[in-house]
């Protein structure tokens, strides 16, 4: 099978109280695992088994119609969650601790507080299922955006460095309809070291 579920760097219960163990378990071992399985199934026996995940995501439009939607849903789901797990950490929260990323956030948004507000507003404003993102664009500028369902900013040529899953499966057990509280909790988990690494790689 070309694609595999990546290992988590923490246990299911280590993101508590902000993300509960049961949600983590279901989200990782059922939802994410399901995207990987369905992606592998969709491309099994086709030439696309040789493609990288990024290449698939950048080229949905060129895929045969019979597999295009399944690949879009599940390659996106695999890529989005793979990034998401890495930018969370039991030791996360606080502010970016790399000068480069701090400088870039201050330049793009004025301050880290304003960035957090604008990102949170974006995450809150998503209607239905989707993701909020902090991305690096072609001019190496930071930009906040959102995608519906499991669409990826990579399709639009952006490099995501921070993402927040606002599908109800990501928070409903613990927060029910209180998405604002989930978003507030998220900031306590952000692994800024990792986000800084992704920023450096993208710029
Ligand atoms: Mn999810």
3-state secondary structure of 51: coil
Query: How remote is the CA of residue 182 from the centroid of ligand 1, in Å?
Result: 13
Query: How remote is the CA of residue 107 from the centroid of ligand 1, in Å?
Result: 31
Query: How remote is the CA of residue 110 from the centroid of ligand 1, in Å?
Result: 30
Cα 118 to Cα 23, 111, 122: the distances in Å are 26, 11, 6
Q: Are the CB atoms for 71 and 63 separated by under 8 Å? A: yes
User: Where residue 97 falls among pLDDT bands split at 50, 70, 90?
Assistant: confident
Query: How remote is the CA of residue 77 from the centroid of ligand 1, in Å?
Result: 7
Residue-wise pLDDT tens digits, 23-79: 999 999 999 999 999 999 999 999 999 999 999 999 999 999 999 999 999 999 999
pLDDT, position 106? 97
Rounded-to-integer distance, Cα 58 and Cα 106, Å: 30
pLDDT, position 101? 97
Give yes or no for residue 1 having a pLDDT over 90. Answer: no
Query: How remote is the CA of residue 44 from the centroid of ligand 1, in Å?
Result: 24
User: Backbone phi, then psi, for 81, in 5-degree steps?
Assistant: -70, -35
| CA terminus-to-terminus distance, the chain | 32
pTM: 0.97
Query: How remote is the CA of residue 103 from the centroid of ligand 1, in Å?
Result: 30
Residue-wise pLDDT tens digits, 154-192: 999 999 999 999 999 999 999 999 999 999 999 999 999
Query: How remote is the CA of residue 27 from the centroid of ligand 1, in Å?
Result: 6
Pairing of strands 159-165, 130-136: antiparallel
Percentage of the residues of the chain whose pLDDT score is greater than 70: 100
Query: How remote is the CA of residue 85 from the centroid of ligand 1, in Å?
Result: 10
Query: How remote is the CA of residue 95 from the centroid of ligand 1, in Å?
Result: 24
Query: How remote is the CA of residue 102 from the centroid of ligand 1, in Å?
Result: 28
pLDDT, position 8? 98
User: Where residue 152 falls among pLDDT bands split at 50, 70, 90?
Assistant: very high
The arithmetic mean of pLDDT across residues 100-123, rounded, is 97
Query: How remote is the CA of residue 98 from the centroid of ligand 1, in Å?
Result: 28
Rounded-to-integer distance, Cα 183 and Cα 16, Å: 14
User: Backbone phi, then psi, for 88, in 5-degree steps?
Assistant: -105, 145
Query: How remote is the CA of residue 8 from the centroid of ligand 1, in Å?
Result: 14
Residue-wise pLDDT tens digits, 121-141: 999 999 999 999 999 999 999
């Amino acid at each position: 099978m070309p694609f595999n579920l990546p290992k988590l760097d923490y246990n299911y219960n280590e993101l508590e109280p902000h993300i509960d163990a049961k949600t983590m378990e279901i989200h990782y071992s059922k939802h994410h695992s399901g995207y990987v399985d369905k992606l592998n199934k969709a491309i099994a026996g086709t030439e696309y088994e040789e493609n990288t995940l990024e290449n698939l995501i950048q080229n949905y439009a060129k895929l045969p119609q019979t597999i295009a939607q399944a690949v879009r849903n599940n390659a996106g789901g695999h890529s989005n969650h793979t990034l998401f797990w890495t930018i969370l950490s039991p030791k996360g929260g606080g502010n970016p601790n790399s000068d480069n990323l701090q400088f870039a956030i201050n330049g793009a948004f004025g301050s880290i507080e304003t960035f957090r507000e604008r990102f949170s507003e974006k995450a809150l404003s998503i209607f239905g299922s989707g993701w909020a993102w902090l991305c690096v664009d072609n001019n190496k500028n930071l930009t906040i955006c959102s995608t519906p369902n499991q669409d990826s900013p990579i399709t639009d040529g952006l490099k995501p460095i921070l993402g927040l899953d606002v599908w109800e499966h990501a928070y409903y057990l613990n927060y029910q309809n209180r998405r604002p509280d989930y978003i507030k909790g998220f900031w306590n988990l952000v692994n800024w070291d990792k986000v800084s690494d992704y920023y450096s790689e993208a710029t």
